[in-house]
Amino acid sequence: MSFFKKLTQRLKPRSDKQIYSEGLDRKTNKFVNKLLLLFEEESEIDESWIERMMVVLIEADVSVATARKLMKSFQKLLDENEITEKLYAKDVFKQVLNEFYGQEAPQLKIADNRPTVILVVGVNGSGKTTSCSKLAYMYQEQGYKVGLVAADTFRAAATQQLELWAQKLEVPIFKGKLHADPSSVIVDGLKGAIDQQLDIVICDTAGRLQTKTNLMTELTKMKRVMAKFIPEAPDATYLVLDATLGQNSLIQAKEFEKATALDGIVLTKMDGSAKGGIIFSIIDEMNLKVNFIGLGEQMDDLRPFSRELFFDSLLDGNSDNA
C-alpha cells in the first residue's frame, strides 16, 4: 500500500469499535494474547487451566483478591452450565467480566448557560497533559467550544506542551507565569471562559506525588477557588492513571481519592500494556469507574470507556489478523 493511500486511510474517521480493536490487538497487547491463547487450547477445562488463567490475570495486575473473585464466579458459571470446552468458556468469561464491572460511569452532562469545568489530576508521566488535549479534541469534534487552562505552573515544559496542542486545535489557552499560584491561573481561566462563552474548560494541573501532602492539599484549594466563580465547579475531577504501572496506579488512586473527591478515571497507555487488569482492581477496591480510555497515540485514540467494546475486544484481540 502506498504512503499516500495509508495516509488517506489514517485520516478517515474511525469508529469506537475500530479503535478498541486496534488498541487491544493481540499482536501488540501481551495481556490479550495470553488470555486468548488459554481459550484456544483444545483440551478440556481442568483445575490446572483455571489456575493458569488466574496467574495470567495476576500478571496483568489484577490483585490476588480480585482475581480470586473473578475466577470463583467463572468456575460457578462453568459448572452451572456444564461447560467443559474452552472455546465455549470464552463467552462465559465475558459474562463474568461484564457483571463484575457493573454499570458504566455516566457521561458528563454539559451545562447550558455556563462553562462546564473539568479538573484533571495525576502524577508526572501519567499522560495528564496529553489527555487534556485529547479530551479537548473529543469535545471539539462533538461541536463544543473548548478552552484549556495550564495550571501546571511548576514545569515550563507542561505549559509549552499544552500551548502547542491549543495551537493545533485552535482553542484558547489560559496560562500564568512560571511558579505562579495555580489557583489564580484557574481563576483567570474561568473568567476567560465565561467572557468567551466557552462550553467546556479543561484544567491541567501539576503532576504531584501522592505522598506530597502540601501538593495534594493544593487540589482542595483549587476546588474551593473554582466554586467562588462557578458554584458547581468542577463538574468533574478525573484522575489520569498510566495502565503500565499496574498496582502502583491503584496506590495512586487511593491517595488521590483521600485528597480530593474523584469522579472517575482516565486510563492511559492501554495499547500494548500487559498491566490492563488494573481496571478490575480499581473497581473492586475503590468503586471508581473508568470514564475514558487511551488506546493509542493519535488524537482520536482517547475514547469514552465502553464496557461492551472493551470486553469484546479483550476476548477477540483482533484475532482474525493474528
pTM: 0.88
Q: What whole-number distance in Å separates Cα of residue 70 and Cα of residue 50?
A: 11
Report whether 38 contacts 51 (CB < 8 A): no
Residue appearing with cell numbers 474523584? 262
- Put the strands of the sheet holding 146-151 in their side by side order: 173-175, 146-151, 200-205, 116-121, 236-242, 264-268, 290-294, 302-304
DSSP output for 244-256: GGTHHHHHHHHHH
Query: What letter does residue 111 receive in the DSSP assignment?
Result: P
Q: What percent of the chain has pLDDT over 90?
A: 55
Report whether 299 contacts 137 (CB < 8 A): yes
Residue 18, number of CB atoms within 10 A of its CB = 14
Instruction: Give the residue range(s) of CATH 1.20.120.140 domains in the chain.
Output: 18-104
Pairing of strands 200-205, 236-242: unpaired
Provide the pLDDT confidence category of residue 208 given band limits of 50, 70 and 90.
low
Report whether 237 contacts 263 (CB < 8 A): yes
Provide the pLDDT confidence category of residue 96 given band limits of 50, 70 and 90.
very high
Can you tell me the mean pLDDT for 220-245?
90
Report whether 265 contacts 278 (CB < 8 A): no
Instruction: Give the residue range(s) of CATH 3.40.50.300 domains in the chain.
Output: 116-305
Superfamily of domain 18-104: SRP54, nucleotide-binding domain (1.20.120.140)
Q: Which amino acid is at 179?
A: H
Q: Which of 87-101, 121-135, 197-211 has the lowest mean pLDDT?
A: 197-211
DSSP output for 62-96: --HHHHHHHHHHHHHHHHHTT--BHHHHHHHHHHH
- Give residues with Cβ within 8 angstroms of 202, minimum separation 6: 118, 120, 132, 135, 136, 146, 147, 148, 149
Query: Is 4 a residue whose pLDDT tops 90?
Result: no
Topology of domain 116-305, CATH: Rossmann fold (3.40.50)
Provide the pLDDT confidence category of residue 254 given band limits of 50, 70 and 90.
confident
pLDDT tens, position by position, 171-200: 999 998 878 888 999 999 999 999 999 999
What's the pLDDT score for residue 7? 38
Query: Is 155 a residue whose pLDDT tops 90?
Result: no
Query: Is 68 a residue whose pLDDT tops 50?
Result: yes
Provide the pLDDT confidence category of residue 209 given band limits of 50, 70 and 90.
low
Query: Is 133 a residue whose pLDDT tops 80?
Result: yes
What's the pLDDT score for residue 322? 40
